[in-house]
Amino acid sequence: MSVEFELTPKTKRPAGERCCEPVVYPDVDRERATRLAEVAKALGDPIRLQLVDVLRKHAGKVCVCELVPLFDIGQPTLSHHLKKLREAGIVDSERQGLWAYYYVRPEALEDLAGWLG
Amino acid sequence: MSVEFELTPKTKRPAGERCCEPVVYPDVDRERATRLAEVAKALGDPIRLQLVDVLRKHAGKVCVCELVPLFDIGQPTLSHHLKKLREAGIVDSERQGLWAYYYVRPEALEDLAGWLG
DNA sequence: GCTCGAATTCGACAGACATCGATCTAGAAG
DNA sequence: CTTCTAGATCGATGTCTGTCGAATTCGAGC
């Protein structure tokens, strides 16, 4: 709802001139910003971003054992990245026997995409 | 361009069954993923995300002295965040006399928004 | 020149992060 | 019950990040 507020720097030069138009408060409050930033942060790693890219393009759920050879990192590290994505709400997983299946939860991404406009 | 590849886990149970459909390589190559992740990472902090939000809603260029009181952090810290955003190509700045003016460069955000779909 | 003020840069520090190898868990097959 | 395997967790390590206060830069006015 964008409340305006006034502020002028203490220096009044050039005489009486403002340094810029009055600024508006952020539309996104701190809480929403924290949520959006959480998603953005989770995407802020090349491997995680590629992971999401693969999972998104893949219709169904993808087994971890298929993901490992795609990336030049160890399996524990990949597991760590998947956990980060899960904690950010970007992906979720199911276990079936020995295998673990990951899939994208589009809502989180849509939220960020919506803000980006 | 999505090359397919085959991979089956060493366990063949349930007999002969695949753990999942063959996975496709990421559409985004490592280089583009790195670029997109760089932008996402810069947005991965609540204050920076709110900063971008303010700058985007503001038509012109905004003076730093107007931004400082919006956030509950010191002015050097804000300067640090602005630098991060500038390094990610999300904002740019101009100096006029004593004052520094920041504005959003929409291209970087559009790139990420495009990937998010 | 001198002083003041806006903004950046510097130095320090605590906390978070990416990565690795080793270990642990638990389902499946024999 | 034993063995094998997929995946998660643990412990360690080096790097990066957010924050602060102090110092620095640089333009403006006196």
Among chain A residues 52-111, those with CB within 7 Å of any atom of strand C: 73-74, 76-77, 80-81, 84, 97-98
Residue B60, pLDDT score: 80
Mind listing the pLDDT tens digit for each residue in B30-49? Answer: 999 999 999 999 999 999 99
**ipTM beyond 0.90?**
no
Domains of chain A: 30-116 (1.10.10.10)
Which of A20, A33, A37 comes nearest B62 by C-beta?
Answer: A20
Which residue has better confidence, A37 or B9? A37
For residue B92 the two structure tokens come to 């740019």
Mind listing the pLDDT tens digit for each residue in B45-102? Answer: 999 999 999 999 988 899 999 999 999 999 999 999 999 999 999 999 999 999 999 9
Do B88 and B39 contact (CB within 8 A), yes or no? yes
Model confidence band, residue A7 (pLDDT cutoffs 50, 70, 90)? very low
**Could you tell me whether strands A91-96 and A99-104 are parallel, antiparallel, or unpaired per DSSP bridges?**
antiparallel
pTM, full prediction? 0.88
For residue A64 the two structure tokens come to 């971890």
Mind listing the pLDDT tens digit for each residue in A11-55? Answer: 434 434 667 777 777 788 999 999 999 999 999 999 999 999 999
Instruction: Order the strands of the B99-104 sheet from edge to edge.
Output: B62-63, B99-104, B91-96
The helix/strand/coil state of B27 is coil
Model confidence band, residue A63 (pLDDT cutoffs 50, 70, 90)? very high
Residue A22 to residue B117, Cβ atoms within 8 A: no
